[in-house]
């Protein structure tokens, strides 16, 4: 895979296709990946905000397609959880599995402040902006079995494919120690 950047962030039209001022841009991200010797392939597309929109748009891009969930727990700890896109997470079970206080989705302001992206563009690549390494990172063990994994490169008008082992190298280079966890027990949605 050869690194390719796609359109520039400054050419974007909507908020979710821009990073926050003072935070890394897609060009910064691709430069960091290149400096780490990590190959990626990036495909440009119209902005997508949901998994369903992404499925309709992406066609036959190879690899596993993932979603990245950003949580705050009751004690104000932050968690970034990366799973295959079709997994439905039971947040209570996920809290138990991680040994965290009760989880809730982080508000858009926290997403902006800590990850430097807009909701709809949350990605493990946004850890480039968490320079104090305050966020706990959890990768689903199922993701690590794939040849390639697909994520937004800080904006939601592109999709970047990366090898899972290289994703871990990138995350570690950002100062984080990702936990690789079988999240299967937290994907069974309880029926009332």
Most distant pair of Cα atoms in the chain: their distance:
50
Which phi-psi region, left, alpha or beta, contains residue 181 (left: φ > 0; alpha: ψ -120 to 50)? beta
pLDDT score at 10: 36
- pLDDT, tens only, 12-26: 344 566 677 678 999
> Taking 50 as the threshold, does the pLDDT of residue 134 lie above it?
yes
Helix (H) or strand (E) holding 42: strand 41-44
In the chain, the number of structural domains is: 1
Per-residue pLDDT band for 46 (boundaries 50, 70, 90) equals confident
Residue 2 is assigned to a structural domain of this protein = no
Residue 69 is assigned to a structural domain of this protein = yes
Residue 11 is assigned to a structural domain of this protein = no
pTM of the model: 0.84
Residue 167 is assigned to a structural domain of this protein = yes
38: domain CATH number is: 3.90.960.10
Mean pLDDT, the chain, integer: 85
- pLDDT, tens only, 57-106: 666 778 888 999 999 999 999 999 999 988 889 999 999 999 999 999 99
Residue 172 is assigned to a structural domain of this protein = yes
């Amino acid at each position: 895979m050869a690194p390719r950047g796609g359109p520039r962030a400054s050419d974007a039209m909507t908020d979710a296709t821009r990073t926050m001022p003072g935070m890394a841009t897609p060009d910064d991200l691709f430069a960091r990946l290149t400096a780490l010797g990590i190959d990626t392939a990036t495909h440009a597309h119209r902005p997508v905000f949901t998994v369903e929109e992404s499925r309709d748009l992406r066609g036959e891009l190879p690899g596993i397609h993932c979603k990245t969930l950003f949580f705050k727990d009751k004690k104000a700890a932050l968690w970034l959880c990366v799973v295959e896109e079709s997994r439905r997470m039971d947040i209570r079970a996920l809290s138990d599995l991680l040994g965290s206080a009760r989880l809730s989705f982080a508000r858009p302001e926290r997403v902006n402040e800590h990850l430097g992206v807009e909701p709809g563009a949350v990605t493990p690549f946004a850890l480039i902006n968490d320079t104090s390494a305050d966020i706990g990172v959890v990768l689903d063990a199922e993701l690590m079995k794939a040849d390639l994994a697909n994520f937004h490169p800080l904006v939601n008008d592109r999709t970047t494919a990366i090898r899972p082992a290289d994703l871990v190298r990138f995350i570690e280079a950002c100062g984080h120690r990702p936990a690789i966890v079988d999240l299967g027990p937290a994907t069974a949605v309880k029926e009332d």
